[in-house]
Chains A and B, each alone.
Chain A
């Protein structure tokens, strides 16, 4: 690992394992699967037509997040954090959707972009 360790590597690994658990849980969610019921509930509706796009979006989001988090967790567990490569891999997994996290603002400023 690149310099500056002042903490027990076992603790970093333990935290990495928690992230692996989180990745696994998100991977199991299958958010998109239940959306297909909208068509059964509202046949011939515009909502039914809108489902497919959202389902695709969610499947991708879940998979990407799980993959990026797995990569992140494994890097912490194995102590093999190579920050350039790992960061780049995570960035690729999450896509280039958003810039680096902004400074937290007041809650009311959030919502629909």
Chain B
């Protein structure tokens, strides 16, 4: 079974392991392995070592979350790293004779290994739309950060902060996976938004997506107008939204904001996040007035005027502040 004339214990162990994981191992193989293992504790250790290696490699199956600011390592990226690394190259290629041939081989990388990476972020005050290399589109709200890794067998994104909406180009062979807070949203061709607000909220605007909440082993399927909130402890809360509510929740994509019963205080705080001109509510009773309506996030004055009209107030401008006062 060992191809080399004088294989080391470790090489023999590797041969045994490749036999045992082949799916074609026979009872005789198992017996042969048992005999070999029983012969010497070093055989047992070498076989365990090979098993440890084989098992460790399973970590390659699931690309984990991208760390904040951490350098992202991909199979593709390491092609160049390896060439800059004479020690392991020499080690892996086993001598200069093999070097030339292997260099030639390494320069041709199969497409399935390549990973295209993109970092998306919006730092200004307006949401922004990004075209992804697969034809999908992502709209990120202010403060959102998304890491994109396009691989041949999957499209994997991670929402690090904020909220983002995705319009997924259809590609059955490459699932589109968004990770947020340890949970996964898996789509083929559909539209949905993911936001991180304490937990993770997913809203589906078209088609069906599969979600795998953090720590869960069974997926949940969401249809359009379904919303799931995954708390930090992994608990999931499902709700069905009206078209109107969906439009309101995703109004940020057009730079709009929709209020539906929020108090004036809450609404003003949201508006103030987007504007230099700050809305100040002088009267605590007025602060609890409920607000309904659509506004441009950047139109503090329009918001103040409309709120004042609804609640019977008037607006007084003082420098960078808009004071809402009782008439």
To the question of whether A and B form a pair in one complex, the answer is: no
Chain A residues within CB distance 8 Å of chain B: none
